[in-house]
């Protein structure tokens, strides 16, 4: 029985070995495999170019299964993964290619841009610098590095790279434009204009108007007002759609001391942008130079009003409300009214308080707390309503009255308060007399009597408690 089992096992092993050899012998030779891989890679490349990335990856994997030591396959796979935004997987593929190919591998570039996508900028720069050191004429790599420098505002480095690109390819639209932008950012407007000129010369098209506008702005900064104005007026004639065109034309006229014309263009801008307080202030300054004081004042008021409306509710009213609260609280601290005799002398004192603090100090002195409270509320509402004027008064005291003209001043409340104020002043002596009468008011006699009874009751309760406590203590 056992011997039969062993014989069966032995036969099975021999059969399996033979099958294995048979399958092995049926595989490709090394050369055939290589050819197959080349074919695969060509196919991967074409799939990649066609944008069929997932198929390209599958085929690249098949190629790797056949021979896993060809760096090109890993690069192709990595690029497809990169396009599918699997940056981490792409990075692994490029690293594998670098491992196989060594320092001169082009995979450094691809790995660098993968690092950039993963926001590892140090590794990005390391790989890219290494790559550019070996392939120093590769414009794609130079553009990648220059763009990075442009993005992080290192315009000196950016210019170096773009100049290199420009020397390699003088027709590079992108590099000329970036050079112009970088020089402008660095403040070298002349050079910037130079490159913008090159751009318009090489690529005359729709962008020319925009480039002309930028050039005009740069010329304005360089105080070359005439040329700038010429360009801007040219753009204005062809109705170039830019909101700020009129501002720049006005600036040019200001530079050329043609203030009337600058006002004209600023005004047309302000009509379409009525809340741009900076331009309104600018126009106010021009009016000042022209001696048109009335217009100047109006503009200053208008800009102040816009600024006031822009402010948050808290910053508008915080100080005023705090002031009112302190005033109200502080007044009531003085309101610890002790009985006193008001005679003719106190009339003088009441007037003195009235003159020192007409917001109601005399009312507190005379013990009219309710009257003080009511009038204080009315006054507080008035102060809050004219808070813009108050704010304006603090900033520009000379134009306070004009600000009243411009705004909806609460005249009715003001007149009412003025009337109260005058009435208060006129009737102050009578108020003192009334206060004296109030002081003479006595409480009801019955009330005094009831207090006495309540007191007697309390004392009686106290006595009872005393006796009871004594008894209770004795029980312990």
Partner 1 sequence: MSIWKNIITFGNFGRLEDDIKIFAYRRSILEEIVKEYDIAMFSQKKAFTILNIEREKAIKNLALFKSIIKKIKKNVQDNIAIKVRDKKTDSNNFTNYGSIQSFRNNLPDLNVDEFSDVFFIKVQSSISALGAKKEIDKNDLIIHGADVAISAMVNFLSATISINRNVIEKRRLIKDKTLDISDSVKSIKDSFPIIYAETNRVGEIALLLNKNNFIFTGKFIELNLLVHSKSHFYQFIDFLQDIRFDANEDVKKKIIFLGQICSEYNKINVLKV
Residues found near partner 1 in the complex (CB under 8 A): 338-341, 343-344, 347, 429-430, 433, 436-437, 439-440, 442-443, 445, 448-449, 451-452, 454-456, 458-459, 461-463, 465-466, 468-469, 472-473, 475-476
> Under a CB-based contact definition with an 8 Å cutoff, are residues 376 and 364 in contact?
no
CA distance 101 to 90: 16
- Judged by beta carbon, residue 414 or residue 433, the one nearer partner 1 is 433
Token digits of residue 410: 């609460």
Token digits of residue 15: 């059969």
Write the Ramachandran bin of 344: left for phi over 0, alpha for psi from -120 to 50, otherwise beta: alpha
- Smallest gap from residue 333 Cβ to partner 1 (A): 18
Which ranges of 152-275 would DSSP assign to H, the alpha helix? Answer: 155-168, 173-186, 189-202, 207-221, 225-237, 245-255, 259-272
- Judged by beta carbon, residue 333 or residue 476, the one nearer partner 1 is 476
- Judged by beta carbon, residue 311 or residue 451, the one nearer partner 1 is 451
- Smallest gap from residue 432 Cβ to partner 1 (A): 8
R_g of the chain, CA atoms, integer Å: 46
CA distance 190 to 180: 9
- Smallest gap from residue 368 Cβ to partner 1 (A): 17
- Judged by beta carbon, residue 30 or residue 453, the one nearer partner 1 is 453
> Under a CB-based contact definition with an 8 Å cutoff, are residues 196 and 219 in contact?
no
- Judged by beta carbon, residue 49 or residue 333, the one nearer partner 1 is 333
- Smallest gap from residue 352 Cβ to partner 1 (A): 17
- Smallest gap from residue 347 Cβ to partner 1 (A): 8
> Under a CB-based contact definition with an 8 Å cutoff, are residues 221 and 192 in contact?
no
- Smallest gap from residue 314 Cβ to partner 1 (A): 43
How buried is 168 (Cβ within 10 angstroms: 0-12 exposed, 13-18 middle, 19+ buried)? middle
- Judged by beta carbon, residue 141 or residue 428, the one nearer partner 1 is 428
- Judged by beta carbon, residue 13 or residue 472, the one nearer partner 1 is 472
- Smallest gap from residue 294 Cβ to partner 1 (A): 52
CA distance 63 to 33: 9
């Amino acid at each position: 029985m056992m011997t039969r089992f062993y014989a069966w096992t032995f036969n099975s092993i021999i059969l399996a070995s033979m099958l294995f050899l048979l399958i092995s012998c049926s595989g490709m030779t090394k050369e055939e495999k290589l050819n197959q891989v080349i074919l695969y890679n060509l196919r991967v490349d074409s799939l990649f170019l066609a944008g069929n990335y997932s198929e390209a990856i599958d085929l690249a994997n098949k190629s790797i299964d056949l021979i896993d030591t060809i760096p090109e396959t890993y690069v192709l796979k990595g690029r497809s993964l990169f396009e599918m935004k699997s940056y981490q997987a792409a990075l692994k593929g490029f690293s594998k290619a670098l491992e196989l190919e060594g320092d001169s591998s082009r995979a450094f570039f691809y790995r660098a841009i993968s690092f950039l996508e993963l926001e590892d900028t140090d590794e990005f720069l390391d790989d890219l610098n290494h790559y550019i050191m070996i392939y120093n004429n590769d414009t794609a790599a130079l553009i990648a590095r220059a763009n990075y420098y442009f993005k992080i505002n290192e315009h000196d480095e950016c210019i170096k790279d773009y100049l290199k690109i420009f020397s390699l390819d003088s027709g590079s639209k992108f590099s000329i434009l970036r050079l112009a932008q970088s020089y402008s950012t660095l403040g070298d407007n002349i050079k910037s204009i130079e490159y913008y000129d090159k751009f318009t010369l090489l690529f005359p098209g729709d962008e020319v108007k925009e480039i002309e506008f930028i050039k005009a702005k740069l010329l304005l900064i360089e105080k070359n007002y005439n040329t700038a104005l010429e360009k801007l007026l040219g753009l204005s004639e062809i109705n170039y759609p830019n909101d700020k065109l009129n501002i720049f034309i006005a600036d040019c006229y200001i530079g050329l001391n043609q203030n009337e014309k600058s006002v004209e263009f600023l005004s047309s801008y302000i009509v379409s942008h009525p809340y741009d307080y900076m331009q309104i202030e600018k126009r106010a300054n021009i009016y000042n130079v022209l001696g048109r004081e009335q217009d100047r004042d109006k503009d200053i008021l208008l800009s102040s009003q816009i600024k006031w409306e822009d402010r948050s509710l808290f910053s508008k009213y915080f100080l005023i409300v705090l002031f009112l609260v302190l005033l109200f609280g502080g007044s009531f601290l003085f309101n610890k009214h002790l009985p006193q005799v008001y005679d003719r002398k106190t009339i003088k004192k009441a007037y003195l308080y009235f003159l020192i603090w007409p917001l109601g100090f005399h009312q507190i002195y005379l013990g009219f707390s309710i009257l003080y409270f009511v009038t204080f509320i009315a006054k507080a509402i008035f102060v809050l309503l004219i808070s813009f004027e108050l704010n304006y008064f603090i900033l520009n005291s000379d134009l306070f009255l004009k600000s009243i003209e411009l705004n909806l001043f609460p005249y009715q409340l003001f007149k009412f308060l003025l009337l109260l104020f005058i009435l208060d002043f006129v009737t102050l002596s009578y108020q003192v007399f009334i206060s004296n009468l109030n002081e003479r008011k006595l409480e009801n006699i019955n009330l005094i009597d009831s207090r006495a009874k309540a007191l007697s009751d309390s004392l009686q309760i106290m006595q009872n408690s005393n006796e009871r406590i004594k008894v209770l203590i004795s029980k312990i």
